[in-house]
């Protein structure tokens, strides 16, 4: 049982996440906060009406008051602009940084023991801002991006091979952008390497499809971006924390020397448990991976520091 979860930003991802949490997790209190007070309040009332069907006892409150995050165990940041057709995630940096700073200041004051999960894009940059502004230890600031990328990878692999995603292992990681790293060496299907199952050329096609999956969804939706996949990936992360599962999940973490990188947030494989990020796992990198991480570092430092 977790006492209190707050979701700041009750748009597509935040509202879907709230629904998923109520469906799957025992939570005493769920606070929904949005700059649009009516959206937060109305969504809260609508979600309450799931009670009769799902049977939860969670107290739900929707408002535009950031003070409602007080004493949360977990705060999820899904507030800010989302991509529309033709935009990259980085196009959102200026406006979403400001929003993330404002929310982080409140978290620091009112929910000082919380684990914070950043979802807002550009994800690695926003995770960095949250880490800096809250000053929280790095185990308690988690960016949700690579876990969604990995979920997308497994879905595409399922569609290509018919294998259950439960028989797949591995992860996509690095930046949560089209430059994410999908290294076939890291991925197995029923213990066999990805390339041995689908062949080298198909493995390359799969890599490219995963990298562009977010953009593919935006290009169809046009006025908004993905919500169900992101909410599911975020919900899995929260369940892993609440149930102290110690699962290996790639998340954006503040790096302090790991992978030769310092003072930068990027997706890396981590053990997640009730402490948040319990351990960052380092793997020996291929030349391709080293090049990709260096490129991500360069862009990060140009835009952020």
Closest to ligand NAI by CB, 4 vs 176, is 176
Residue 158 is among the residues annotated as catalytic for this protein: no
Of the candidate residues 6, 21, 22, 80, the single one contacting ligand NAI (CB under 6 A): 80
The tokens of 284 are what?
């020996």
Of the candidate residues 11, 170, 175, 269, the single one contacting ligand NAI (CB under 6 A): 11
Q: Is 14 in the site for ligand NAI (CB under 6 A)?
A: yes
Of the candidate residues 74, 79, 198, 265, the single one contacting ligand NAI (CB under 6 A): 79
Q: Compute the least distance from the CB of residue 4 to ligand NAI, in Å.
A: 18
Determine the size of the site formed for ligand NAI (CB under 6 A): 35
* Beta carbons within 8 Å of 298's beta carbon, 6+ residues apart: none
| R_g (Cα) of the chain, nearest Å | 19
Closest to ligand NAI by CB, 39 vs 198, is 39
Closest to ligand NAI by CB, 11 vs 175, is 11
Span near ligand NAI by CB under 6 A; candidates 144-152, 166-174, 188-196, 279-287 = 144-152
Of the candidate residues 106, 140, 176, 213, the single one contacting ligand NAI (CB under 6 A): 176
Of the candidate residues 99, 117, 238, 270, the single one contacting ligand NAI (CB under 6 A): 99
Closest to ligand NAI by CB, 10 vs 215, is 10
Closest to ligand NAI by CB, 144 vs 242, is 144
Q: Compute the least distance from the CB of residue 183 to ligand NAI, in Å.
A: 20
Of the candidate residues 8, 31, 210, 251, the single one contacting ligand NAI (CB under 6 A): 8
Binding site for ligand NAI (CB under 6 A): 8-14, 33-36, 39, 78-83, 92, 96, 99, 102, 119-121, 123, 144-145, 148, 176, 224-227, 230
So which residues are the catalytic ones?
A: 176
């Amino acid at each position: 049982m977790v006492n209190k979860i707050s979701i700041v930003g009750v748009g597509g991802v935040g509202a879907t996440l709230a629904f998923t949490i109520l469906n799957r997790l025992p939570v005493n209190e769920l606070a929904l906060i949005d700059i649009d007070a009516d959206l937060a309040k109305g969504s809260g009332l609508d979600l309450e009406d799931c009670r009769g069907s799902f049977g939860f006892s969670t107290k739900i409150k929707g408002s535009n008051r950031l003070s409602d995050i007080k004493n949360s165990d977990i705060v999820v940041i899904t507030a800010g602009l989302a991509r529309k057709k033709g935009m990259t995630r980085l196009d959102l940096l200026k406006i979403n940084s400001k929003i993330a700073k404002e929310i982080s200041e409140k978290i620091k004051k009112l929910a000082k023991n919380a684990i914070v999960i950043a979802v807002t894009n550009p994800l690695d940059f926003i995770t960095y801002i949250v880490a800096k502004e809250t000053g929280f230890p790095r185990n308690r600031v988690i960016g949700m991006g690579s876990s969604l990328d990995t979920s997308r990878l497994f879905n595409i692999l399922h569609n290509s091979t018919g294998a259950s995603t439960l028989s797949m292992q591995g992860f996509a990681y690095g930046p949560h952008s089209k430059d994410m790293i999908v290294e076939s060496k890291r991925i197995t299907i029923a213990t066999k390497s990805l390339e041995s199952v689908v062949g080298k050329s198909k493995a390359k096609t799969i890599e490219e499809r995963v990298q562009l999956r977010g953009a593919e969804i935006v290009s169809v939706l046009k006025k908004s971006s993905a919500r169900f996949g992101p909410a599911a990936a975020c919900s899995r992360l929260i369940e892993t924390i609440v149930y102290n599962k110690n699962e290996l999940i790639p998340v954006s973490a503040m790096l302090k020397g790991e992978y030769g990188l310092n003072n930068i947030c990027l997706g890396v494989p981590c053990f997640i448990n009730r402490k948040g990020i319990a351990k960052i796992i380092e793997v020996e990198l291929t030349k391709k991976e080293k090049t990709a991480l260096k490129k991500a570092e360069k862009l990060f430092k140009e835009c952020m520091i």
